[in-house]
Amino acid sequence: QKEVEQDPGPLSVPEGAIVSLNCTYSNSAFQYFMWYRQYSRKGPELLMYTYSSGNKEDGRFTAQVDKSSKYISLFIRDSQPSDSATYLCAVDQTGANNLFFGTGTRLTVIP
């Protein structure tokens, strides 16, 4: 069983739509939850980081963690063409950077 499962998409939405990206994980010991964004020909960059359960908001982005169902989500409001990228979820048990990544979801926002 993979540590993290992520729907690879691709996902296409019109500009202004609300986007929901999701991952599930297998080990309840994971405590750190990250979302990375990777533009074409670039390395991943950290978008959001959450410790334990709950929500975290940063501008148009909201990360949610539901530890009871081992489910993590990233919501993008008022999506923009510049949000077109691959979004990777990642989990970590101890914060020591033993990251387990999802396969990534490719998102295209159409103007």
**Contacting other proteins (CB under 8 A), which of 22, 70, 101, 108?**
101
Contacts within 8 Å (CB) and 24+ apart, 82-85: 82/109, 83/19, 83/107, 83/109, 84/108, 84/109, 85/37, 85/38, 85/39, 85/40
- Pick one of 46, 53, 66, 80: the residue that binds other proteins (CB under 8 A): 46
- Tokens representing 107? 């998102």
C-alpha span between 29 and 38 (Å, rounded): 26
Instruction: Return d(Cα 75, Cα 7) in angstroms, integer.
Output: 15
Q: Nearest approach, Cβ of 91 to other proteins (angstroms)?
A: 11
Work out which of 13, 92, 93, 108 binds other proteins, going by CB under 8 A: 92
Does residue 52 bind other proteins (CB under 8 A)? no
Q: Which is nearer to other proteins, 69 or 97 (CB)?
A: 97
User: Contact with other proteins (CB under 8 A): which of 26, 49, 73, 108?
Assistant: 49
Residue closer to other proteins, measured from CB, 32 or 63: 32
